[in-house]
Amino acid sequence: MSKPHSRAWVREAVRIIEADANRSADTHLHVFPLPPEWGIDLYLKDESVHPTGSLKHRLARSLILYGLVNGHIGPDTVLVEASSGSTAVSEAYFARMLGLRFVTVVPRRTSKEKIALIEFYGGECHYVDSAPAMYPEAERLAAECNGHYLDQFTYAERATDWRGNNNIAESVFAQMRAERHPVPSWIVVGAGTGGTSATFGRYVRYKRHTTKICVVDPENSSFYGAWETGAPDYATGMPSRIEGIGRPRCEPSFVPGVIDEMFQVPDAGSLAAIRLLRDRTGHWAGGSTGTNLYGAFQLISRMLADGQAGSVVTLLCDGGERYANTYYSDEWLGEQGIDLAPYRARFDEFLLTGRFDA
């Protein structure tokens, strides 16, 4: 057990992180155009405009503040994580701001774009052969180098303040206040750690809103099975093709008790949806945003069939520029055997008639 770190250093570290938050404006809430006569409005919370380009900017800030206030992080602490994605990019940004070394354990096959982004913010990548090996290796590395394992999968649900404190849910409800349906009928999100769905689910219950939470899950992921069976140790052992969401095992920060509904979404559907989003709104987004949109369309077509008016909010989780050589490359789609055309036809049918056969 290490001695408490210098309080003066911790005070200054918290000031620096809070100052960064104070310099940042809130992320936008965009409207996705639907036929007005439907009486249903669809919104996208654009988390790609955070300084580090994704919703993980919020989580990284919370995890590092959580480590600081718990006495786990001091002036010589090496910060360690198990992430090849958005979380590592954002954690590297904050580590550099505090003058701390940041090492993330990543699978050897991680895209060079992601590695470059982590290194751009001063992070170091430590390679392992397989995804499941990331967690024990991060533990070992942290123990070996006087480090602190930030461990997003365990602490995401604990480090984020679900009561408010400018969390993503409080921001959405504040930005919906002047809309014709200010209290959404549904909020649709994916799950990587499960932290975002836990924050929304807890917030709407704490604020006594009638809003329901729907979590969308990509192919091969464990969350749907865990929610449906109630088995917290549910595991498929298979990786997801949609970056940021879907896990080989059900993660500790996944809180099924606050989730009202779940949908499994085909990868081709997710990737067709982000092309539709680009064509209809000009916004470029990553695959997990497509998974969100697909789920939102399913719920809206059901609301229409039930004659229910209202609003649906989902997330634009990260920018599409990171996926120029994958999701936005027809060559890559061909190699993956992914055909977008059938799903594009369903979306066009949905936006004309309101019918969406998922």
Ligand X SMILES: Cc1ncc(COP(=O)(O)O)c(C=O)c1O
Which residues of the shown chain bind ligand X in the complex (CB under 6 A)? 54-56, 85-87, 156, 190-196, 243-245, 286, 288, 317-318
Residue 49 CB, nearest approach to ligand X (Å):
14
318-355 b/e (C-beta count within 10 Å ≥ 16 → b): bbbebbeebbbeeeebeeeebebeebbebbeebbeebe
- Determine phi and psi for 177, rounding to 5 degrees: -55, -35
Residue 190 CB, nearest approach to ligand X (Å):
5
65 versus 304: smaller Cβ distance to ligand X: 65
DSSP code for 269: H
- Residues 187, 30, 221, CA angle at the centre, nearest 5°? 40
Euclidean distance between CA atoms 229 and 214, whole angstroms: 17
77 versus 291: smaller Cβ distance to ligand X: 291
11 versus 163: smaller Cβ distance to ligand X: 163
Torsion sign over Cα 348, 349, 352, 357? negative
Residue 111 CB, nearest approach to ligand X (Å):
13
41 versus 157: smaller Cβ distance to ligand X: 157
154 versus 302: smaller Cβ distance to ligand X: 154
Euclidean distance between CA atoms 117 and 112, whole angstroms: 8
Grouping H, G, I as helix, E, B as strand and the rest as coil, residue 266 is coil
Residue 244 CB, nearest approach to ligand X (Å):
2
189 versus 304: smaller Cβ distance to ligand X: 189
Residue nearest to ligand X (CB): 244
Tokens of 97: 């701001």
